[in-house]
Chain A
Amino acid sequence: MAINWFKYSAPSTFYGAAGKMIPWFAGASAILFIVGLYMGFFVAPTDVQQSEAYRIMFIHVPVSILSMIIYLIMAGYAALGLIFNTRLSAMMASALAPTGALFAFLSLWTGALWGKPMWGAWWVWDARLTSELILLFLYLGFIALHASIDDPRRADRASALLAIIGSVNVPIIYFSVKWWNTLHQGATIKLSGTSMHVAMQQSLLTMFLACWLFAITMALLRVRSIILERERNNQWVMELAETKK
């Protein structure tokens, strides 16, 4: 079965496809959230050192990892848009940015809540915390630059360039716990074996998938609005059922 992928790189066809995909992603995300939170709060055992406080990890770790992954995906879409001049890629990049910024913010917020009982401080000037904060600034810079340019084409291209430059920061965040000897603990989840209880690991994985699906849902919802906004003068938009009022 051959699928013509290029068909869905046109905003008009992707609009419909995205609309069909959203309920599935949203539903799966909601189910995984419920399962993951239940497992995290009731099934996973109490930690010996950190007692109950460690449970914030089930939010903190997925949003932190995703804040980095979303930035890379955003920069990837931005690069695609810049190189091949595809309209949809740039729209996807700007649709991903607010979710990424939200995740970066949540990562810092939950990190502060976790840091207070564990380290005795809401914030420490640790390499990983600082570089995650820079990531949040990069997201905000991307959004601000895009918002302040009126011409959508120039806005897409200028912010794409910024996103690509900023992606230098992602490896710095990821390796910061290895390069600098810091307060923030190193990676616990490794490909070859882990030092974590199985139930904890499974709930973490479930929450990670839930957050990922949530990000996809939000990006698709947002990209549909962006498509409508950008293509509002086109015939196919005027023929849509939801625009006829």
Chain B
Amino acid sequence: MDKLDPITKYPNMVFPLVMVFVIGFLLLGLAVQTVYLFESHQAQQVSSGGEFELLDTSDYSPSDADVSVMVGEAYFIQEDSSLPDNVVEASVGDIVYFYNEGEIAHTVTLAEFGIDEFVNPRDEVYIRVNRPVEETVLDCTLHSHHEGVLTVRES
């Protein structure tokens, strides 16, 4: 009886197997794209002010800054504070102003947030911080090659 019944050929597993493979590849594709989207979203947040916002120098002056930091040979010095050299502290929402009054160019680098600004003598860099940060590395990768620590607290 079964021999005459074409349905006994089931389960025909060719189509399901092909679909399982297709689903697998599509899931992998989705995973890769999701990770890529997540990473690019984070990068976008950094550059567009989601967390650390690099401000247009022409729109700001030192008087707009909440925290002023002098960048020089082997130091980041925060003005009007008793903090040691290479320690910078700010609050969420603050505009942090970096300037270089020396004769040698430096950089202001916050690698974690994709900020890497070149500061020529008498150049200025303005950064707004939009979330708390626990001791991120503030780096100068040019000439003196020194590191500082930036901490952003809730205001």
Instruction: Tell whether A and B belong to one assembly.
Output: no
Interface residues in chain B, defined as those with a beta carbon under 8 Å from any beta carbon in chain A: none
